[in-house]
Structure 1
Amino acid sequence: MRFRSSSLLAIATTLAFAVPPAFAQDTAEPQADQAPPPEDTQIVVTGTRAQGRSRLDTASPVDVLSGTALRNQGTTELGAALAAIAPSIDFPRPSAVDGTDAIRPATLRGLSPDQTLVLINGVRANASALLNINGSVGRGAAAVDLNTIPATALERIEVLRDGASAQYGSDAIAGVINVRLREARSGGGATATYGFYATDIDTARGSRSVTGEPAFTASAWQGIGFGEDGYVTLSGEYLNREATNRADFDPRVTPSRVTGRFGDPAVEQYTGYINAGTGIGDNFKLYGWFGYQDRDSRSAAFPRLPAAAGAVSGIYPNGFLPIINTKSTNANGALGIKGDLAGWDVDLNVAYGRNKIAYYTRNSANYAYGNASPTSFYDGALIYDQWVAGLDVSRKFDVFQSLNVAFGIEGRREGFKITPGEPASWNYPATGAVPGQAPGAQGFGGFSPLNAIERSRKNVSGYLDIEAQITDKLLIGLAGRGEHYTDFGDTATGKVSLRYDIAPWFALRGTASTGFRAPSLQQQYFTSIASVVQNGSPVLTGTFPSVSVVGAALGGLPLEPERSTNLSVGTVIRSGGFDLTIDAYQIRLRNQLALSENIQASFSPQVAALLASTNTGAQAARFFINGLRSRVRGIDAVAHYRLPTGDAGTFDFTIAGNLNQTKVDRSSIPTSTGTINPAPVLFARSRILTIEQGTPGQKVTGSIDWSLDKLAITARASYYGDVNQPGTTPAADIHSGRHTITDLELRYQALKGAQFALGVNNLFDVYPDYTIAANNSTGVVGFPYYSPFGFGGRYVYARLGLSW
């Protein structure tokens, strides 16, 4: 994606005429009896270990997104709410990609989802057990599921848009998302949100209208005080959402009709959080939190028409639509103590997180069983867990104007496990198998005992972080970190930060750092046999570890860490109620990890024989490999102006944008070093273009937030540049196009008492460009699922609440 003057003109024109989330998202969450703090006093704890530094005083760019701004939206998904107000974050809504339909990854600055570190109260959050192996943005990543954290539990979120591996460790190549939970001794509230779609759907083969597909969310929180300073904050949320369907008409049936289901899955979800703390003696505080979520999601595979379902025609004479049911449970918590010890600020904590995803296939069949097939299957489960223990120590010295010295150690143990499903989900029947039919549940085949695995690893790290205010104008930061992993050895990273305040209203800042991301256990050990749709037809595809017999034969090697070099330079301008930050950055990635092409048996007799030797029925194979090199260049800009007008209320104006360009070094693309001759192509056109063009090269959000006493209006317009969902040839590419989404919300919101809001997301019912008929032979994929704003259409909602 290239920056063109015409693109920038289109963005500027769009925002000039749109009704422009003010940085209400830049306001720290107020207590029930407090007003939001001024912009220049928003104290941050991410990206700096010096106390009392505001977001406009840091050497690295940090966004402060308040819990209020995240909750004052139609969506109750944290990932979607973040993407709506943070221009550097992308949260696509993929469909027909198995478990990724239910557990969606977010990206920062166009990088892979697992190249952003997620913290909860400053402590590393656990990743999802899911490995995104199908054709979605973030293919090959095992990332943190942001939607396991309910917005009602939040005080704020801090987004560090800068490389920070030297400060926080693995994964912080693109930056850090630090989720801060509420700490309340009193007050509380309850909210109910109901919404539905009112949209006109225009696909390549026809049009239709939808009014319905509702979603209901109920949430509540309560602060409880005890002792002199103790607090317990309880938060809970319930979500029930019907499935959406934006599939096209199926040309294979007469008369043509919609046979597939393509859109958001049906979800029923329960989430609860508790955050607590209390003083111990005069110098210490005991703190901790625990969160738990149970999510039941049901998405659809491609439809099986009567001709394809002939083996089970007695069960499904009219064909069937397999339903992929994922049941995800996520638990995370921490316990710590912090305070003053001999003049040093000390924080000692231990945390545990666990995610389990159990798979079921409903309304399906195993063709090998014929008409005696079950119709519902348990497919097995993925489990990931981690223990983290950390000690952070810091102290401020009266050297120069001030010198902050921080150091610490962290230990982590990670585990990953695959448990097999029931035999009917993956195997032939003991007797009477239907000849010529491959085994396994249609839509999502189960994990077999051959896939079962249990692996773990440990790592220990130490860091030193120094931040010196040399003069009133000059700030210098230095950080270094060393890590040892039991599976691949040692690594070291460093960072230098500079800031120079030329005048009280104008400052320059910049950073240079190195980063790394350790290959996840999921990437190293995940294995499965699953149906992958290629050119409109399902192909039974095996995902094999890189060091397995299949992986090694195709060119696989032991996985190594990804490496990065990050550079950024920016400016901060502020005057009165106005502030502007502009930051340019470059990120060079080396030894990048990616999932290979699906190498089919038809490639050569050697590949066919190799796959046959696995006794899995796989018709294609893929595996992870290091070696790609890429470069990301971009600019982040955030401008905010707060205008109090007395009787006319207060206006917050915000315009925030991200421009970025990703290029893959074609000369770095790995070639096979295995035993297959001729060697298969490991990375072809579609994989490379997904990295380069799978996220928008331009995203700009403009907003106006007006408030007067208890009344408020938020109007937001978000411009998205074109995204390419690449095919095997240019003719098979699916582009989202350039579009602007407008959101509007009117609310009555008292600090205490009744609250009410009416709103519309996507007011003008904008869709990405539809998938042309030539690229949609089944009619299922009506729109590109790479679309950065989804493909749901207009959504109308109402929110009722009570605060006390």
Structure 2
Amino acid sequence: MQGHLSVRTCHLLLSVSFLTLAIPSGAMAQTVATGPVAADPANEIVVTGTRTPGRSRLETASPVDVLSSEALRAQGTSELGQALANVAPSIDFPRSAAVDGTDSVRPATLRGLSPDQTLVLVNGIRGHSSALLNTNGSVGRGSAAFDLNTIPTIALDRVEVLRDGASAQYGSDAIAGVINLRLREASEGGGGTVSYGQYVTSVEPARSEYERRDGKTVNVAVWQGMRLGSDGFLTLSADYLDRGFTSRGDLDRRVNPARVTSRFGDPEVEQVSLFGNFGAPFAGDWDVYGFAGYQFRDSTGAAFPRLANNVNNVASIYPDGFRPMINVRSDDVNSALGLRGPVGDWDLDLSVSWGRNQLRFRTLDSINSTYGAASPTDFRDGKLAYDQLVTGADASRLYELGGGDTLNVAAGLEYRRESFEITQGQVESYARGPLGGNTALGSGAQGFQGFSPANVVDVSRDNVSAYLDLEAQLGRLLIGVAARGESYSDFGETATGKVSARYDFTDSFALRGAASTGFRAPSLQQSFYTLTQPQVAAAPGGGVTIVDTGTFPATSPVAVALGGQPLDPEKSFNLSAGAVFRSGGFNLSIDAYRIKVRDQLALSDNLGTGVNATPQITALLAPFNVSAARFFVNGIRSTTRGIDVVANYRLPTDAAGRFDFTLAGNLNEVELTEVPTGTGTITVPALFGQQRIVGLERGTPRVKVSGQTNWELDGFGALVRATYYGSVTQPAPTPANYAYTGKHVIVDLEARAPLFGQAELAVGANNLFDVYPDFVPETNAINYNNGGTAFPYYSPFGFNGRYLYARINLDW
């Protein structure tokens, strides 16, 4: 899994980029809209990555992509995370399945790094992460990241993606970059969309071939702009989603006749999102602004089936076996209030924001076999909750240095308080009942076990930070310097810095680059999440005893006995260099980067089982009545190298309409250069096994290139997009059981036509040619799982096949 990006591969990517631009039927881009575009995207003003007013995305020292609201909605998906991944090759949003809560709260990655190493802002204000910690074998294992799908696309004006380290500018988490979700600002007008779609596909796993018509999706979204006072605005948005489940399993030969017993695919989702964004004059030259959003999501995915003869089945309740369902109900709040205005020659911005995510878990159609026929079949498993309060004060001033030269000075202070809670579930969801002495029976609700009293957590921390950001325009030379210091109540202080530069040799050509240090504070979820499961084991003096196994905080007595220590922040060093070229309707940017991360956090393998069942670990765990444990450990070092290529050509014609040819590609390689094998107290064969290493190195595409053409004329339009995905590896305990997605090209198509004056009808297909990742061979005992996981769920384009949709857009 080691090595460097080859010169040949780099040349291939660049050659494909230029060839695609030369052929009008190719092309796609991550920095321009993929639907109707009113203004020249090359001149879009950005606020992410620079605090100097008035800079466009092609004038910055670091690469910034601008994705318009039209780009995000002119697709066959209602998910913001999926929409971003479709038009931004540096973003990956795999469709996890059979990984518990991660089925419902899916994380996105930028440049192949961990989902929590990308900072998400809402209107320039730090967003809050999900309460969910991804603990299973999905992309992003061990992370607690911002849930992009909590923000409806109807509420957005655009999204800015800064593809560069920015911890010195924005604080923790911005190792890979920053995604800034900018809300719609409108004082009049309105619009809405109504869409319907479903998968119409032929499924061909290893053992069978069948047709599917599922995943039926209805999405209704509206927005309305209103005047607030004489010069203010209030923009309200609402979004409703009803999405059916998908199922892509293979034949299970353990039943007769063989049939698909799993429900391997997307969960069933019903979701309501409400958002409001406002701004208005306040006391002279000052403005008051703010936003508030709420989303309720009810999502139900499937666990693996339990057959009728399963030892954990109770035949009197489920004579034919059962398939547990995992229900996650999410309540998510985003809110902010601020004042901004001049104080002398300075512009001052004061803000306070609060966000909260609560997840309530239920296991349905299940059983706790240790209660026998008296077991409930529906279980309340408990809750996770995370909230964040941020107050900030920012000041900036633009100094005129003479001769057209300027110096922008920005400085600020921020206070942040976070809290994390785990609430226990009902007793039957986690306990061992009257039949608990039977060592063959599992504990708690089958499929997803509830949180026990021992797992209850209510913790918080706070931090204060200060930054200074200088940006000087000296003729054709742009120089930026930023520094930031932070103090956390749990692990102490950290400091980061960034230097960036850009030189415009001509009005058409510029070189740019940056060097920065970054950090990511360990999340409260990583520091304190715990879920333990009681199991029956042989007692030393004979008979049986109940022992625990599961995930423990690194500072718990169990973890400390094994060498666990308080978690330290991850540290990074980022280098980037690039070029920008623009002429007429054409623009091109090429950026290379290298990101080194040390003290990276990861969730260990289980210690006390399998190859890690050593006599030393058994002895250390015995006083705590624990048979196996895992916890977070610092110590991984990684290097990420890559190249981003983004290009666009806008061709307006009098007779044939306007064409936008756009293309983007990302070539990315993640290499783990150091992996700890012990904690200082113990040394084990697999503190982080090869399965974890491969998941980090090969879990996202090394190559992703996408080309798109968009055409418009007199209200008619069409879009075609082709995206090439390099192969991704879904790991397993042994290389023989790895699953590979293969290399594939996905084609999306959409056609638009005017309808009844202000309305527009769009029809389209995502994955027009019904392409699937390579199926998992039935000889792959681990990843095939008796047909229960017939395709790799690491697939960056999913495994649902062709999706057909129709959408009506209406403006008023």
**TM-score, with length taken from structure 1:** 0.95
The residue that corresponds to 2:256 in the other structure is 254
Shift of the 11–57 alpha-carbon distance from structure 1 to 2, 3 Å rule, reads closer
How many percent identity over aligned positions? 56
User: Which of 551, 565, 570 is matched with 2:559 structurally?
Assistant: 551
Say which is worse superposed, 82-91 or 682-691, in terms of deviation: 682-691
Selected match of 2:529 from 509, 513, 526: 526
The verdict on how the C-alpha distance between 1:751 and 1:118 changes in structure 2, with shifts beyond 3 A counting, is farther
Displacement, 1:779? 1.2
2:724 is the alignment partner of 1:731: no
- 2:680 partner SS: coil
* Corresponding residue number in structure 2 for 1:416: 420
Deviation by residue 1:381-435 (Cα, 9 ceiling, x = unmatched): 0000000000110000012501100000000000000000000100123x56563
- What is the SS of the residue equivalent to 2:72? helix
The residue number in structure 2 matching 1:26 is: 32
Structure 1 distance, partners of 2:779, 2:28, is 42
Instruction: Indicate conservation of the 8 Å contact 2:31/2:67, yes or no.
Output: yes
1:128-170 deviations in Å (ceiling 9; x for gaps): 0000000000000000000000000000000000000000000
- The alpha-carbon distance between structure 1 residues 671 and 273, as it changes in their structure 2 partners (threshold 3 A), is same
Counting only pairs closer than 5 Å after superposition, residues 472-511 of structure 1 correspond to structure 2 as 473-511=476-514
CA distance in 2, matches of 1:186, 1:751: 21
Do residues 573 (structure 1) and 581 (structure 2) align? Answer: yes
Q: Answer yes or no: is the 8 Å Cα contact 1:157–1:179 preserved in 2.
A: yes
Measure the CA separation in 2 of the matches of 1:729 and 1:296.
36
Which residue number corresponds to residue 406 of structure 1?
410
1:441 alignment counterpart: 445
**1:474-532 deviation digits (Å, cap 9, x = unpaired):** 01000000000000000000000100001111000000000000000000000003699
Query: How far did residue 557 of structure 1 move?
Result: 1.2
User: 1:107 and 1:433 mapped to 2: Cα distance?
Assistant: 42
C-alpha contact 2:359 2:383 (8 A) present in aligned 1: yes
- Could you tell me whether the CA contact under 8 Å between 2:30 and 2:87 is conserved in 1? no
Does 457-466 or 13-22 show the bigger shift?
13-22
| Aligned with residue 470 of structure 1, among 428, 451, 474 | 474
| Corresponding position of 1:100 | 102
Q: Is the 8 A contact 2:167 2:519 kept in 1?
A: yes
- In 2: Cα distance, 1:706 partner to 1:119 partner: 32
Which residue of 673, 676, 679 maps to 1:672?
A: 679
Instruction: Note the 1:157-176 alignment, pairs <5 A.
Output: 157-176=159-178
Describe how 1:379-394 pairs up with structure 2 within 5 A. 379-394=381-396
Instruction: Please give the per-residue CA displacement for 1:430-469, whole angstroms capped at 9, x wherever unaligned.
Output: x565633232000000000000011000000000000001
Which residue number in structure 1 is paired with residue 462 of structure 2?
458
- Paired residue secondary structure (1:158): strand
Structure 1 CA distance for aligned equivalents of residues 607 and 796 of structure 2: 29
Q: Which moved more, 1:122-131 or 1:207-216?
A: 207-216
Q: Which moved more, 1:11-20 or 1:653-662?
A: 11-20
Q: 1:763 touches 1:795 (CA, 8 Å); kept in 2?
A: yes
**Counterpart code for 1:736:** T
1:27: Cα distance to partner?
5.1
Q: Structure 1 residues 325 and 12 mapped into 2: Cα distance closer, same or farther (>3 Å)?
A: farther
Deviates more, 1:273-282 or 1:454-463: 273-282
Partner amino acid, structure 2, of 1:177: I
RMSD of the TM alignment (CA)?
2.2
Tell me which residue corresponds to 2:543: none
Q: Is the 8 A contact 2:432 2:534 kept in 1?
A: no
> What SS class does the counterpart of residue 505 from structure 2 fall into?
strand
The separation in 2 between residues aligned to 1:140 and 1:499, in whole angstroms, is 37
Say whether residues 1:178 and 2:186 are aligned partners. Answer: no
CA distance in 1 between counterparts of 2:624 and 2:597 reads: 35
Q: Is the 8 A contact 1:634 1:659 kept in 2?
A: yes
Q: 1:217, 1:238 within 8 Å by CA — same for their partners in 2? A: yes
Query: Which amino acid in the other structure matches residue 553 of structure 1?
Result: A
Q: Match of 1:755?
A: 760
Match of 2:65 in 1: 63
Post-superposition CA distance 1:330-387 (Å, at most 9, x none): 0010000111121211110000000000000000000100111100000000000000
Give the C-alpha shift of residue 26 in structure 1.
Answer: 2.0
1:703 aligns with 2:708: yes
- Tell me the distance in 1 between the aligned counterparts of 2:13 and 2:584: 30
Does the 8 A contact of 1:27 with 1:42 survive in 2? no
CA offsets per residue over residues 108-131 of structure 1, 9 Å max, x none? Answer: 000000000000000000100000
Q: CA deviation at 1:470?
A: 1.2
Aligned in 2, Cα 1:89/1:187: closer, same or farther, shift over 3 Å? Answer: same
Report the AA paired with residue 192 of structure 2: A
**Range 117-126 or range 551-560, more displaced:** 551-560
Give the Cα separation in 1 of the matches to 2:164 and 2:363. 41
Whether 2:801 is the aligned partner of 1:797: answer: no
1:715 aligns with 2:720: yes
Aligned-pair distance for 1:665?
1.0
Helix, strand or coil: the match of 2:465? strand
Amino acid at match of 1:604: T
| Aligned residues of 1:166 and 1:494 also touching (Cα < 8 A) | yes
Moved more, 252-261 or 689-698: 252-261
Gaps of 5+ in 1: 533-538
User: Per the alignment, in what secondary structure is the counterpart of residue 369 of structure 1?
Assistant: helix
Alpha-carbon distance change, 323 to 21 in structure 1, aligned in 2, over 3 angstroms: farther
TM-score, normalised by the number of residues in structure 2: 0.94
Q: Partner amino acid for 2:749?
A: L
Give the 3-state SS of the residue equivalent to 1:778 in structure 2: helix
CA shift, 1:18, in A, is 10
Question: For 1:731 and 1:311, how far apart are their aligned partners in 2?
Answer: 32
Once structures 1 and 2 are overlaid, which stretch shifts more, 722-731 or 754-763? 722-731
**Inter-partner Cα distance in structure 2 for 1:613 and 1:21:** 63
Aligned residue in 1 for 2:336: 334
Given that residues 445 and 531 in structure 1 are in contact (C-alpha distance below 8 angstroms), is that contact kept between their aligned partners in structure 2? no
Cα distance change, pair 22–689 in 1 and its aligned pair in 2 (3 A): closer
**What is the distance in 1 between the residues matched to 2:35 and 2:808?**
20
Amino acid at match of 1:282: G
The answer to whether the Cα contact below 8 Å between 1:27 and 1:36 also exists between their aligned partners in 2 is no
Is 1:691 paired with 2:691?
A: no
Give the match for residue 272 of structure 1.
274
SS at the partner of 1:682? Answer: coil
Partner-residue secondary structure (3-state), 2:644: strand
Distance 1:414 1:458, change over 3 A: same
Q: 1:461, 1:482 within 8 Å by CA — same for their partners in 2?
A: yes
1:661 matched to 2:664? The reply is: no
What SS does structure 1 have at the residue aligned with 2:397?
strand
Partner residue, 1:535: none
Provide structure 2 residue ranges, at least 5 long, that are not aligned to the other structure.
Answer: 536-546
Structure 1 residue 647: Cα displacement: 1.2
Structure 1 equivalent of residue 540 of structure 2: none
Shift of 1:673: 2.0
1:597 corresponds in structure 2 to 605
Residue-by-residue CA offset, 1:40-61 (whole Å, 9 max, x unaligned):
4210000000000000000000
Q: Residue 635 of structure 1 corresponds to which residue in structure 2?
A: 643
SS of the equivalent of 1:166 reads helix
Is the 8 Å Cα contact of residues 19 and 717 (structure 1) preserved in structure 2?
no
Amino acid corresponding to residue 459 of structure 1 in structure 2:
N
Do the aligned partners of residues 492 and 433 (structure 1) sit closer, same or farther apart at CA in structure 2, a change above 3 Å counting? closer
Q: Give the whole-Å Cα distance in 1 for the aligned partners of 2:531 and 2:208.
A: 37
Shift of residue 669, structure 1, vs aligned partner = 2.4
Cα separation, 2, equivalents of 1:692 and 1:432: 44
Residue 19 of structure 1 deviates from its aligned partner by: 4.7
Q: Which of the numbers 787, 791, 809 marks the counterpart of 1:783?
A: 791
- Counterpart AA for 1:698: V
What is residue 359 of structure 1 aligned with on the other side?
A: 361
Cα 1:250–1:466 shift into 2, 3 Å: same
**Paired position in structure 1 for 2:520:** 517
> Any conservation in 2 of the 1:599–1:680 contact (CA below 8 Å)?
no
> Does the CA-based 8 Å contact 2:764-2:805 persist in structure 1?
yes
Establish whether residue 427 from structure 1 lines up as the match of residue 431 from structure 2: yes
More moved, 204-213 vs 322-331: 204-213
| Contact 1:444–1:531 (CA under 8 A) maintained in structure 2 | no
Contact 1:719 1:739 in 2 (8 A): yes
